Structures are given as structure tokens and as C-alpha cells.
Structure 1
Amino acid sequence: MSRIIVALLWLLHWLPLSVQASIGRGLGLLLYGIIFPRRRVVLTNLRLCFPELSDGERRQLAKEHFALAGRSLIERGLAWFAPEARIRRLVRVEGEAMLQKLIDDGQPVILLTPHFLGLDLGGTRLAASFDCVSIYARQKDPVIDHWLLHGRSRFGSQILLRRDESIRASIKAMKDCRPFYYLPDMDNGPNESVFVPFFGVQAATLAALPRFAKLGGAVVVPCITRMLPGGQGYVVELGQPWTDFPGDSVEGDARRMNAFLEERIRTMPAQYYWVHRRFKTRPPGEPKIY
């Protein structure tokens, strides 16, 4: 089955982006209707994070999220198969010169990359300009695992690390002037996490970002990939390096990261990865949410 999926993505990647977007949105809305467990997760997350919205508004937001998730699935074929010139046309990078200057100055950089739906194409586009280091989670399906790794490594000289080998190797790569494409905003359980608010709800939040920054002498540069409507493509927004980071406490640093993430999510709420059970790990004594 996975080989059929890969073949379909290869066929679809030849189509104009506007056509792929329409197909992807249709797929996403179909998944909204048939994958009830994930729809329930999305609606639960939206209820917790946007209590000010009505039930109808949250359902509309959930439908839009699934439509964009369908787009991201179909358009992943571009990350796997499209030539570099087409990737550069479809994905614009704002702040590329700033990042290049940091690298030229020998400054280690962590690209703080939250789980927005466009991050795969954003990462592929950055790989066309920069030799980076990133962490990946091995997929159960070996065919999908192969193509995910292929898509992330086919341009330049990329370093992809498993989670169990990430700390020392990532720091060494950063000190060798490779930007670290880092995704720290998932619930990976209580180990190495602290509980801080995310949209007002206590969430197990990885505390590794300040640790990486301190050990690597790195600055944190926000890296947000935004999906544009229809065939307009994507834009990678590289923000200014954070100042006074790490701070005085791990909890304070985690709060700062979550507050930044909330601010960006509010600019495009349908594009965040709401299908993830962000609040599955609860503080001691609290009931399960999902």
C-alpha cells in the first residue's frame, strides 16, 4: 500500500500546485468525515485552546485544518520529487540573508521550527540553501521512512540524526556552522519535560531548547513555514534571533517558547498540527484528556 501512495505522490507532483492544492483539500475533508478518532483529538485540542470560539466555529476550524493537512500530504510529493528550481520558485524564504550572515560569522544557530503543516517543504527549501542538521523519528513503514529521509536529505549535505544520538552530534554540527532544524513542541512524555501553560492548559513541554542553546553557544532563530492559498506556494519566515536566551530558569524558557508559539498559531490557527495529542501527558493527579 505504501508503494502505491508513493507512486501516486510521484504522479501528482507533476501537476500545477493549484491543482494539487484542490486535490489535497478534497482528501483532507474526506478524512475529516471518516477518521473519527483524529477528528475528536482535533476538536478536543481546539476546545481547550480556543474556549472563546463557539462549537460551530471550532468545527469549521477543524474542517479547514483537515483540508490543509490533506494539502500537506499531497504536496509532500514536491519535497520528495520536484527539482530544486521548482522548490525555489514555490517556497520563498524571508530572512535568508540574515541567517547566512550568522553562519558566515561563525554563530551556531537553532532554527526553532514548530509543527506547522508546511514544515516539510520549508525544510526542503532551506536544505537547498544551507547544510543543516535535524532530528528525525524513524517510521514503522520502511518505504515511507525511506522517502521521508530522501526528501529531507536530497539537496546539499544534510545530517539527519536519530533521537538517541541527537545531543552530542547536534551540538558538534551546530559548532561546525550547520543550522539545527529543531522541532521541540510535541508531547514526548514526562521525561526531560516541564509542565508550563500552552493556551492556558498545563502541557508537558520539552526543556531541551535552552539546553541545546547553552551547550552549543547557539542563538535561537524562529522558523515558521506558512502555506499560502491555492497555487501561491509557501513562505518560510525566519525571525530575528532571540535575545537573553537561555534565561534564568528552564521553566521560564519553556514558557517563553510556548508563548511565542501561541502568538504564531493565532496568525494561522488552521495550520498548526492539531491532530497530535498535545495534552496526553498530565500533571500528577490530573485526569486524562483524550
Structure 2
Amino acid sequence: MAVPVFQVRLLHPRLWPTWVGIGLVWLLSWLPIPVQMMLGAGLGRVAGRLLRRRRAVVRANLAIAYPQLGEHDRERLVDAHFAELGRGIFETALAWFAPDWRLRRRGEVVGLEHLRAAMADGSGVLLLTGHFTTLEIGARFLCLAGVKFHAMYRPYNNAVMDHLMHHWREGRSGLPALPRDELRPLVRALRSGHAIWYAPDQTLDARLSVYAPFFGMPVRTITATARLAALGRARVVPYFPQRIGARYRITILPPLADFPSADECADAARINRIIEEAIAPVPTQYFWVHKRFKGVPPGTPPVYGGSPPR
């Protein structure tokens, strides 16, 4: 998919607020990184108090994931999560704008040998991950380590953001972005021996899903991971980002053995377990603001209120 050419229409006055916002984010990205993290955490905690509906979603998700916690401890986890969301905004700005020299010494990629071995025979790879607050900065560290991959692309309604996201993602990752909802380009890239960044933990399309346990609750989980791996004759290599103190660690795991299997439900449950295991060391850095438990089996009491699904 070709990078869109800059057009004069992107300078239309109605798009000026977007350009101003991008400029402010660029300026903020040049603050000392510890200052950015402090500001992000503070703003996130404030947002967590103001956004009551979204806080209720986080609280409901954590009640399922960590039922052993008392109410006080769970509320502390909710606050900590919103602090991570705030930091994640600044980390995204760093991922988009910071020069390589500014980031290189702040993180490491562990397990590159697993990715290289998986691709050594020309096989394509699904770089499987989850939606963490460190998602954008984690992808940037993959780029710094020399990993080339296709980013998944979803068109933006805002023309400026659509144009810039193409350039940011493709300029860093080294390969064209691919449309998320078009199967053929994805399969073609995998069969050509390329890597594709892939996070399957937020799509809830009932037509492409099965119910698989996630933190013990059956929840709608897409089967596209196994389908893409099979059609693209590709290997699935999980990787997950973490912020540990003031540094970042991106861990690449060995490719999944015997995947896909003949059982799409077992494959979906396996992917959920892998993501659960990645959440365990950094529970506040997962995207708990997403209604991950929205798609539950018919007759199950709704997690976020409303009527049970039929």
C-alpha cells in the first residue's frame, strides 16, 4: 500500500487544529523523559478520577482478572493503571518523534534469535502481541533492533492523521502498512517471508470468533490468528513490551509449536493464555480501559451492565 502523497488539502483551515495538536505533542516529546513520565502519570491519575464510566470499565475488568484482591487494593491498581495510560501517551509521542540516539540506550530487545530462526527458511511471521500502554514504544524498539515488519493499518477519518500515521509507521518499520481488514495483502506478505505486527486481543467480530477463556471467563476471541498463520504458511512469534523502572524491555518468545492445530477453540484459548502470561509481570500496563469481556456467551450476566446477550 503506497504512502499517500502530501496534498494541499491537508492545509485546509478546518485541519489546522490537528496540525497545532501535532506540533504541541512534538514539543512535549523534547522534554526530559523523566519529566514526561511524571507529567503523564499525574495527568493519567486525574483523568482516572474524572472519566467515571471508563474507570468503571477498568474496575470491572480487574475484578475478573484479580478476584483475590480486596476492594482497596483493586482501587490502587485502577489508579496505577490510569497513571500508566498517561505515561503511554508520552511514550507514544517518543515513539513517533524521538530520534534514535535519544531512545537507543533506554531499552533492549531480548530473544531476537527466536525471530531470526523462525524466518531463516524464508517463512513469514506473525509478530503476536497484545494491547499494552507501551505498545507504540515497544514497536519502536523493535525497529531500533533492525526488525522490519508490516504494521496493521486502519484508515483514519482525519486526513492529517491518516497521512502522518502512514509516514510514522512505514518510516520506522521499513515496510508498507497493510490494511487490517483486507486478507489478501496480509497473506501475500506472509508468503513472501515478511513479518506482520499483529495484536488480536481487541477485535470482537462475532463472525470470526469463538468463546475462549480469558482470566477464567469465556469471552469472544477471534480465530484470525490461526487462519492467517495457515493461509500465509507463517509462524507465530509472540513478543511483548514492558516498562521496568526507567527502561524498556521487549521480549521475543520462541515461535509457537504445532500452531495452528485442528481445533480453532483450542488455538484461541492458547493465544489468550499467552497474553495472560505477558500481563502477569506488568498488570497495570495492559489496556484495561477496553471492554474485553463484552462478548460473553448468551445468558451470561453482562460485565458492564445492560441486558445479557441472547
Question: Normalised by the shorter chain, which TM-score bucket?
Answer: over 0.9
CA distance in 1, matches of 2:234, 2:132: 23
CA distance in 1, matches of 2:99, 2:193: 26
Matching residue of 1:213: 229
Q: Which amino acid aligns with 1:123?
A: A
Unmatched runs of 5 consecutive residues or more in structure 2: 1-16, 305-310
Alignment pair present for 1:274 and 2:298: no
Unmatched runs of 5 consecutive residues or more in structure 1: none
Matching residue of 1:163: 180
Matching residue of 1:48: 64
Contact 2:91 2:136 in 1 (8 A): no
CA distance in 1, matches of 2:78, 2:20: 28
Contact 2:118 2:255 in 1 (8 A): no
SS of equivalent to 2:113: helix
Q: CA deviation at 1:2?
A: 3.9
Q: CA RMSD in A?
A: 1.8
Matching residue of 2:7: none
Q: CA deviation at 1:228?
A: 2.4
Residue identity (%) = 38
CA distance in 1, matches of 2:198, 2:209: 16
Q: 1:22 aligns with which of 38, 48, 59?
A: 38
Q: CA deviation at 1:82?
A: 1.2
Contact 2:95 2:140 in 1 (8 A): yes
Give CA-to-partner distance per residue, 1:58-94, whole Å, 9 cap, x none: 1111111110110010121111111133333333111
Q: CA deviation at 1:153?
A: 1.8
Query: Is 182-191 or 40-49 further displaced after alignment?
Result: 182-191
CA distance in 2, matches of 1:146, 1:228: 33
Contact 1:134 1:170 in 2 (8 A): no
Give CA-to-partner distance per residue, 1:188-209, whole Å, 9 cap, x none: 2312000111111111101011
Q: 1:261 aligns with which of 240, 264, 275?
A: 275
Q: 2:149 aligns with which of 128, 132, 137?
A: 132
Matching residue of 2:169: 152
Count of residue pairs the alignment pairs up: 287
CA distance in 2, matches of 1:254, 1:156: 27
Q: Which amino acid aligns with 2:254?
A: Q
Contact 1:132 1:158 in 2 (8 A): yes
Alignment pair present for 1:110 and 2:111: no
Q: Which amino acid aligns with 2:125?
A: V
Matches within 5 A, 1:57-206: 57-128=73-144, 129-165=146-182, 167-206=183-222
Q: Which amino acid aligns with 1:274?
A: W
Contact 1:187 1:280 in 2 (8 A): no
Contact 1:32 1:39 in 2 (8 A): yes
Cα 1:27/1:219, change in 2 over 3 Å: same
Contact 2:77 2:284 in 1 (8 A): yes
SS of equivalent to 2:207: coil
Cα 1:66/1:142, change in 2 over 3 Å: farther
Cα 1:139/1:156, change in 2 over 3 Å: closer
SS of equivalent to 2:172: coil
TM-score, normalised by the number of residues in structure 2:
0.86
Cα 1:58/1:137, change in 2 over 3 Å: farther
Q: Which amino acid aligns with 2:133?
A: L
CA distance in 2, matches of 1:147, 1:89: 26
